[in-house]
Amino acid sequence: MKIRKFAAIDIGSNAIRLLVHNVIEQDDKETQFRKSSLIRVPVRLGEDTFTLGEISARNIERLINSMQAFKHLMAVMGVEKYMACATSAMREARNGKKIIRRIQEETGVAVEIIDGKKEASIIANTDLRQLLQEDQAYLYIDVGGGSTEFTLLSGTTPKVSRSFKVGTVRLLNGMIEESHWEEIKKWIRKHVTPLQNVQIIGSGGNINKLHKMSGRKVGVPLSYIWLHSQYQYLQSMSYEDRIIELGLNPDRADVIIPATRIFLLAAKWSGSKKIHVPKVGLSDGIIKTLYYSEHSTASQHP
C-alpha cells in the first residue's frame, strides 16, 4: 500500500480553499481518495470584481498571504502535488492576470485561471459513482459566488454542461436581472424537461451547510418541500440572528439565502423533488483531475 498526498486550491468568489486528500494506492485495487484536511479563508474577491471591476489592494494582500500560508501548510503536510484554480472573480477582474503573476513571484504558487466550461468539466470529474444509478438522470448544480455550473448526467455519463454568471455574491450585490434567470430556465427546460424523474445533485458550501442544518444523515437527500420551508425561515431572520441563533459564519449567513433560491428555482424548472448532497465540489474534482492527468501542465510540486 502506498499513501500519497494531493492538494487542491480553489480561489473562488466568496472564499479560498485548500483541500488535501490522502490518495491510497493498492495493488489490484481501486485507488481511494480520502479527505485529510480542508482550510477555508473568507476572502470575498467577488465583491471587488463584480462591483469595482478589479480586486482591491487589501484583498490582493490577503490573497497573497493566504497562498503563502497554503504553501507552508502543504510542505508541512507532505503534499506531493497540487493544482490551484481561480474561477469567475479572478477571470473577470481587470487585474486578475497581474495578480496571478504576483502570486507566482512572491509565493511560488502557480495559479491557473479557468473558464466556466473547464470549471464544469473539472466538477464533473468528482467521484459520484456510489450515488449515481445507470437508469437515472441527474442535474448536477455547483453554486458559487460568481457563477453556477450545470451538468446533465445520464447515469455516470455527462451529456451537456453550461456555466452561468449567476452566483451568490452577484445576487447579494443586485447584479442579476430577470433575463439571467430566463436564460437558465430556458436551458434547463430544453435539456432536462424531456427526461423523466430528474434528480438534482447539489454542490457548494451553502448546500452542504443546508444539509447539515437539516439533520439528515449522509446520503439522505433534501426534499424540495423542506428546502422551500427553510428558505422562508432563513428569510424571516435578520443577518445577525442567522449568525447568533443558527451559528452561521458571517460570510455564510448572507450568501446562503441566494444560494437556496438558485437551487429552488432549478428544482422547480426541472421538476425535481429530491436534492442529493454528496459534499463534493470543484476542489474534489481538481484532485481527481490532478491525479489522473499524468502529464498535467497545471500540476506543481509545493
Domain edges within the chain: 2-117+283-292, 128-279
Domains 2-117+283-292 and 128-279 share a fold: yes
Residue 136, Cβ density class (10 Å: 0-12 exposed, 13-18 middle, ≥19 buried): middle
Adjacency order of strands within the sheet including 222-223: 157-164, 148-154, 137-143, 199-203, 274-276, 222-223
Residue 214, Cβ density class (10 Å: 0-12 exposed, 13-18 middle, ≥19 buried): middle
pLDDT of residue 297: 46
pLDDT of residue 294: 55
CATH 1.10.10.10: does it fit domain 2-117+283-292?
Answer: no
Count the residues in the chain: 302
pLDDT of residue 279: 84
Q: What is the pLDDT of residues 169-209, one digit of tens each?
A: 999 999 999 999 999 999 999 998 788 789 999 998 999 99
- In b/e form, how buried is each residue of 148-173, taking b as 16+ CB within 10 angstroms? bbbbbbeeeebeebbbbbbbbbbbbe
List the chain residues with pLDDT less than 70.
124, 127-130, 294-302
pLDDT of residue 292: 83
Domain 128-279, architecture per CATH:
2-Layer Sandwich (3.30)
Q: What is the pLDDT of residues 119-131, one digit of tens each?
A: 877 876 776 666 7
pLDDT of residue 298: 44
Amino acid at 258: P
Pick from 116, 107, 178, 183: nearest CA to 151: 116
